[in-house]
Amino acid sequence: MVSPRSIWCCGCNADVLARLTSGREIYPHRADLSRLPFWRCDGCGNFVGCHHKTRDRTRPLGCIPTPEIKNARQHIHRILDPLWQSGRADRSEVYKQLAAALGKQEYHTAEIRSVEEARQVYAAVRVMASPAQEVRHG
């Protein structure tokens, strides 16, 4: 039995004590996910996945998003991922440039805490993805 873990919950707008559970509870109709670890906020029912492919397999991916924030993050990835998947630039370089555009040290999509924040990131990514804007190297 793993003890609850303090994680920021976007639904509760607070640090909550999340409970470790599995895909069996979170996605009952997805047998393929049944063994994966998730942290669930029992206050609002939202949850976050884990870095399950690493040694610390129950380490949360980030804060606990609401469905709305999760959806906004997917929109960001749809524009962000092709920037480095195309080979036009390094993944780390793309993330570094996005962090700089947002005035942050580091950027992690999983750390986006609000729809407003997601909108700002989305706007920055759109600028980076515009054809006139070449991702700088170095």
Q: Which residues bind Zn ion (CB under 5 A)?
A: 9, 11-12, 41, 43-44
d(CA 22, CA 15): 21
- CA atoms lying within 13 Å on the CB side of residue 115: 5
3-state secondary structure (DSSP) of residue 102: coil
Least CB distance from residue 37 to Zn ion, whole Å? 18
The smaller minimum CB distance to Zn ion, of residues 66 and 97, is found at: 66
Nearest residue (CB) to Zn ion, 21 versus 81: 21
Question: Nearer to Zn ion by C-beta: 19 or 96?
Answer: 19
Nearer to Zn ion, 9 or 83 (CB): 9
What sign does the dihedral 103-107-113-116 (CA atoms) show?
A: positive
**At closest approach, how far in Å is the CB of 64 from Zn ion?**
6
Question: Cβ 14 to Zn ion, closest distance in Å?
Answer: 7
Nearest-angstrom CA–CA distance, 90 and 72: 23
Q: Which two three-digit tokens encode residue 73?
A: 């993050």
Smallest distance from the beta carbon of 16 to Zn ion, in angstroms? 5
